[in-house]
Chain A
Amino acid sequence: MIEKIKPSRSEKIIFSFVIILAIFSFGSFFLIKNKCFFVKNYNPQKMIFNDPKNIAILNITCGNVIIKLYPDISPESVKRFKKLVRSNAYDDIAFHRVIKGTLVQAGDLEFGKKGSIDYGKIGTGKSGLGTINSEIDTPFSFDRGSVGLVRAQNYNTEDSQFFILLRDEPLYESEYTPIGKVIYGLEALEKIKYLDKSQYVLRPDFINSLRMLIN
């Protein structure tokens, strides 16, 4: 006859500790693996916008980022941006320059395409449409969520690259051309891959798609 042995008190404590540790480890692993766990995903189709023809939807790993464009402030730049969006040019393009808590930059159509990234030249690529003039005369507050066109050292060299600010940058006013502001989904941008030691990202995150709400 097998005698049932009751676990001692200390054995019960150890057993409970092991169970809790297992739950904690599993939970942590799940949270670490899924960086988008706490990021809310916005569905633009279920939302109402005042000016839907100037709403762009940037879809990235952690969900949708909804951008309101400002053609009244920068007409030519917004026109260029919309043209590229409507041709799906930004799909699979890398966020090649990311500074934690400061900005994310993407839009190198020549050297930033998924599958054919050129790390030696990324950030210098062109769209093939030529450069456009800077539009920096209208007052604009470059606060968190602002979207602007990237330029080279000189003005009037804007093309396809854009940046989105993750913090206020008041000095950017009249330096960079603003094209819009993120109205929903900024937290998804904060999850984009960055490196601690470099602004340029090795094996970067990519834009899944960038579309106008109304084509």
Chain B
Amino acid sequence: MYLIRVILISLFIFSQAQADTIYNLIKIPNLEIYNIKSQNKLRYLYAERPFTLGIKKNINCYNSEKNILDQKYQIIKRNLDKYSKEFLKKINLKYIVMCEDLSISKINTAGIPDHVTKTLILDIKFNENYFERVIHHEVFHIINDSFKELFNEVVWSNFNVKEFRYAECSTCTNKLGLNTNKSTKGFFTEYSESTPSEDMAEVFSHLMVGVKLNNVDPILEKKIQFIKTNLLKIDKNFIL
């Protein structure tokens, strides 16, 4: 007991008031700068050590090996370079946090967007088959959160056939498949059928990675036009 007391007192005495600039800005600990000199002013950060977030400490992510980080950074940057500085400012995205095995309440997730802190956390070990697409998918959530009034879910839901119903939430359903449907029938992927916002994000991400759109059905065509029209309302120079 005495030894523990001595250790605790020593920690208290010798721990200095440190300036953790990144934590002060985006409230995520254990991050370091990867690159902050990008053309569109995005700041790329990486987890130097694992971190835990949230009031219930239910968000976890881990640090990566440098070679994986270097490799994935190139892919992430190549995709995010598609967004202009002006557009990113309008949607409130500034910080990209790279880490691996990202999870919320032990459910793995590709990314966590937060337009309030202007931050997108990306799991760099997410399934490689969809990795580039999920980057844009998560960016759409930032767009959607920043411009809720433009992406009206009732209007969007009405594009679908009358009998169709979305799930209550994206994790309340088993429809998690991310493969692009060969026959679209109003949805790009199985995951699109989970919620309106995930559906919108799937349409957006398919457009951003330039998936060939042969034989697009009328429902999906309406959804594509909805996304394009509203993006132009945010930034008239946005090119899809």
- Find B17's partner among A172, A174, A197 (CB 8 Å cutoff): A197
Q: Which of B132-161 contact A (CB under 8 A)?
A: none
| A-side interface residues, number (CB < 8 Å) | 16
Which 8 A-B pairs rank lowest in CB-CB distance, beginning with the nearest? A102-B19, A99-B19, A199-B17, A196-B16, A198-B17, A171-B21, A170-B36, A169-B21
CB closest chain-B residue, reference A102: B19
Residues of chain B with a CB closer than 8 A to A103's CB: 19
Q: How many interface contacts (CB-CB < 8 Å) are there between A and B? A: 31
B228 CB–A CB distance under 8 Å: no
Residues of chain B with a CB closer than 8 A to A102's CB: 19
Q: Are B17 and A171 within 8 A (Cβ)?
A: no
Q: Are B41 and A174 within 8 A (Cβ)?
A: yes
CB closest chain-A residue, reference B14: A196
B25 CB–A CB distance under 8 Å: yes
Residues of chain B with a CB closer than 8 A to A196's CB: 16-17
B2 CB–A CB distance under 8 Å: no
Residues of chain B with a CB closer than 8 A to A174's CB: 41, 94
Measured CB to CB, the closest approach of chain A to B31, in angstroms, equals 10
Measured CB to CB, the closest approach of chain A to B23, in angstroms, equals 11
Q: Which of B1-28 contact A (CB under 8 A)?
A: 12, 15-19, 21-22, 25
Contact with B along A153-185 (1 / 0, CB 8 A): 000000000000000011110110000000000
Measured CB to CB, the closest approach of chain B to A139, in angstroms, equals 9
Residues of chain B with a CB closer than 8 A to A199's CB: 17, 19
Q: Are B25 and A197 within 8 A (Cβ)?
A: no
B125 CB–A CB distance under 8 Å: no
What size tier do the contact residues of chain B reach?
10 to 19
CB closest chain-A residue, reference B27: A153
Q: Are A171 and B19 within 8 A (Cβ)?
A: no
The answer for the CA separation of A15 and B227 in the assembled complex, in Å, is 90
Residues of chain A with a CB closer than 8 A to B19's CB: 99, 102-103, 199
B75 CB–A CB distance under 8 Å: no
The answer for the CA separation of A154 and B43 in the assembled complex, in Å, is 19
Q: Are B17 and A99 within 8 A (Cβ)?
A: yes
The answer for the CA separation of A171 and B16 in the assembled complex, in Å, is 22
Residues of chain A with a CB closer than 8 A to B21's CB: 169, 171-172
B33 CB–A CB distance under 8 Å: yes
Known contacts A102-B19, A196-B17, A197-B17; is-contact A171 B25 (Cβ 8 Å): yes
Q: Are A171 and B33 within 8 A (Cβ)?
A: yes
The answer for the CA separation of A199 and B33 in the assembled complex, in Å, is 23
CB closest chain-B residue, reference A199: B17
Q: Are B41 and A171 within 8 A (Cβ)?
A: no
Residues of chain B with a CB closer than 8 A to A171's CB: 21-22, 25, 33, 36, 43
The answer for the CA separation of A169 and B20 in the assembled complex, in Å, is 11
A20 CB–B CB distance under 8 Å: no
The answer for the CA separation of A198 and B13 in the assembled complex, in Å, is 11
Residues of chain B with a CB closer than 8 A to A99's CB: 17-19
Q: Are B25 and A100 within 8 A (Cβ)?
A: no
A22 CB–B CB distance under 8 Å: no
The answer for the CA separation of A169 and B15 in the assembled complex, in Å, is 22
Residues of chain B with a CB closer than 8 A to A169's CB: 21
The answer for the CA separation of A169 and B21 in the assembled complex, in Å, is 8
6 additional A-B pairs beyond A170-B36, A197-B17, beta carbons within 8 Å, are: A100-B16, A169-B21, A171-B21, A171-B25, A172-B21, A199-B17
The answer for the CA separation of A197 and B15 in the assembled complex, in Å, is 7
The answer for the CA separation of A196 and B19 in the assembled complex, in Å, is 12
A18 CB–B CB distance under 8 Å: no
Contact with B along A185-199 (1 / 0, CB 8 A): 000000000111111
Measured CB to CB, the closest approach of chain B to A200, in angstroms, equals 9
